[in-house]
Amino acid sequence: MIGIVIVSHSKQLAEGVRELAAQMAQGKVPLAVAAGIDDPENPLGTDAMQVYEAIASVYSDEGVVILMDLGSALMSAEMALEFLTTEQQQKVHLCEAPLVEGAVAAAVAAASGSNIQQVMAEARGALTAKATQLGVNTSPSFVSSQEQTTNNQEQTTKEIHLTIRNRLGLHARPAAKFVSTAARFQSQILVSNLTIGTAAVRADSINQVATLVARQGHKLAIAATGVDADEALSALQALIDSNFGEQETPLPHSLLPTPYSLL
């Protein structure tokens, strides 16, 4: 399993990021913290040896991603790499992604079985959803699914339309569950928000799913192409029907489906 190291000047900050990422990844990903220094009067800082020990605690041949907050955290991480063997250094990657969003995106991707290149790409694209919602990123750059599309060109696509019913919509935790469920299947799975007219995005990318801005009452179109398309759609329908494990809140009357709905 890919490991993630969080390097910060503040131990409290790093522990909070780890807690959030661990919850989003459902505890499936090794996460380590290297933060603060052993100085009660001035505890803010970073230590290269701490970073090295954190790397060692989560290291595997699948790779390690290191996320850092400020300048000297990067320097400490670079120094820590010098303690590793040449072979280990090739499998440890310093990532310029934002600390909080990057750690969450990387953890969800790693938990879904993505490889190190995909995990790095998800971390680097972690601000896409926020920028899109704020209207400052009108042309989001997504991880390509071209290879999946090529492999599925001659296979039939199945599609279902489902309504999001939980009160807070497809927020962080449900989105992570949606992504991890989609990632279990070989089929290419695309999802769009029919209510607000979004483009179809990859269902196995937390960054792309977050751009759907799916609220309570919004209708999603989920399309699967591949050998296990039916199983994939059934699993995603069951997840949405269960309100992602959250307490059910009735839809407002204005959002209830009409007899002419595509449900």
User: Which are the catalytic amino acids?
Assistant: 9
Domain ranges of the chain: 3-126, 146-255
Hey, which CATH number is domain 3-126, 3.30.420.40, 3.40.50.510, 3.30.1050.10, 3.10.20.30?
3.40.50.510
The pair of three-digit structure tokens given for residue 76, joined into one six-digit string:
């400490």
Q: Digits of tens for pLDDT over the chain (263 positions)?
A: 999 999 999 999 999 999 999 999 999 999 999 999 999 999 999 999 999 999 999 999 999 999 999 989 999 999 999 999 999 999 999 999 999 999 999 999 999 999 999 999 999 999 988 888 888 865 555 545 444 554 555 688 999 999 999 888 999 899 999 999 999 999 999 999 999 999 999 999 999 999 999 999 999 999 999 999 999 999 999 999 999 988 765 555 555 444 433 33
Task: Supply φ then ψ for residue 209, to 5 degrees.
Answer: -60, -35
Global confidence as pTM: 0.82
pLDDT at 248: 64
What residues does 173 pair with on adjacent strands? none
Per DSSP, 114 falls in state -
Structural class in CATH, domain 146-255: alpha beta
Residue 75 — left, alpha, or beta (φ > 0 → left; ψ -120 to 50 → alpha)? alpha
